[in-house]
Copies of this chain bind each other. A is one copy, B any other.
Amino acid sequence: VRVNVIRFPTSAPGDTRFLHSLISSGQVNPRDIVALLCKTEGTGTPTDFSRELANDRYTRFLSERLSLSPSDLKKRIAFIFSSGCDGVISPHGYLFLTAEKDRRVLGRSKRLTIGIAGTPTLKPEEIGSKKHVLLVTEAVRDGMKNAFIEDPKDVHTVFVKSPILLGVSRRESESGRLEGHPKSRASSAPLTRAASALGVAVALGEVPEDQIKEEKIGQDPHLYSNVAITFSGTELAHCEVILLGNSAFAQSDFIIRHGLLTDLLDGEGVKSVLRKADLDFGCCPDEKTRQRVAAIFMKVGILPSGQVRGKRTTILESDINFTRHLRAAASGVVASILGEPEVFISGGAEHQGPPGGGVVSVIVRI
């Protein structure tokens, strides 16, 4: 399988012009597109409709190009839109392309590969449950097969977009369910991200399946995946999985590597992953080295105490959502190292990396 990744800027959430020009110019054959991952701009809260707008526009654009119905398109291409460009994050997207899929052709070395998969639709009461975890586990295993990956060690990033519980209001979460629905969940956004992350962890053997207990989901920070980056959203009712790794069956100019972040300020963790990906540099990558970085993906979190390096921050006490502070601060950390504001950062790291930390991965051109 030949795998390619293209990063592109967007002038608005629904801006498909770059994709249009890639296809028009012949640089991209739309039949090769397997996944689209975009950072859209908005508040990142439930009333941020940038994700849905982007989803609509790209779906329509590609449906027309591929003469597919939207539902057939969705079976063929995985879409993940993550909102929130706080700080210096420049709104942008990634196009993942594969061609000449044939397992028999074995490359000389492991190269970037991609597998997409999805769970069935989750019932509202399943969101955040052990069943949710195990459905994601299955989907991740499918993704590995699609990616021609056998060894879980070759998986370097698993994006999972997960549904949130519609009709569970913020008030319920804040006031303790005054209407007395004992089973409605405190807040489904962190919980759905948590369950999906544990699903990845189980699939890759990072957390044994028998440790997944209902009451630990979203609760026990010592259970975590090293490669999961999960999102919550209102635009879907199942989980969508994009799995990235390296495979000997892949032919690509790229490899992917990952690492952990110990906390929000772990610039060294970022550099360390860049170096793992065969980039050789002094303090920070120079212009030429930077050009080789096709993508950087990060998920960042914070300790429940709100502290970073033992110092109090206001991240969890502010009038704006804590994920906005996380994304904005992390954008400074990583964009200043890379000299590049097109960085993919997501906040809210439930079971994604160690407590108070996060995960990071890079795709680098060989």
Interface residues of A in 5-23 (CB under 8 A from B): 9, 11-14
Once A179-B355, A355-B178 are accepted as A-B contacts, the answer to whether A186 and B171 lie under 8 Å apart by CB is: no
A296 to chain B, nearest CB (A): 14
Alpha-carbon distance A219/B175, docked complex (angstroms):
8
A338 to chain B, nearest CB (A): 9
A182 to chain B, nearest CB (A): 8
Contact A304 B177 (CB under 8 A): yes
Once A53-B52, A173-B187 are accepted as A-B contacts, the answer to whether A341 and B265 lie under 8 Å apart by CB is: yes
| Copies of this chain present | 4
From A99-107, A149-157, A188-196, A249-257, the one touching the partner chain is A188-196
Q: Is A350 an interface residue (CB 8 A)?
A: yes
Contact B336 A267 (CB under 8 A): yes
Can you list, as one digit per residue, whether each of A201-226 has a CB less than 8 Å from chain B (1) or not (0)?
A: 00000000000000000111100000
Q: Is A57 an interface residue (CB 8 A)?
A: yes
Contact B53 A325 (CB under 8 A): no
Can you list, as one digit per residue, whether each of A55-90 has a CB less than 8 Å from chain B (1) or not (0)?
A: 011001000000000000000000000000111111
Can you list, as one digit per residue, whether each of A340-365 has a CB less than 8 Å from chain B (1) or not (0)?
A: 11100000101000010000000000
Tell me which residues across on chain B come within 8 A of A321, comparing CB atoms.
319
Contact A306 B49 (CB under 8 A): no
Can you list, as one digit per residue, whether each of A127-171 has a CB less than 8 Å from chain B (1) or not (0)?
A: 000000000000000000000000000000000000000010111
Interface residues of chain A, those whose CB is within 8 Å of chain B, are: 9, 11-14, 41-43, 45-50, 52-53, 56-57, 60, 85-91, 167, 169-181, 186-187, 189-191, 194, 218-221, 264-268, 271, 282-284, 302-306, 308-309, 311-322, 324-325, 328-337, 339-342, 348, 350, 355
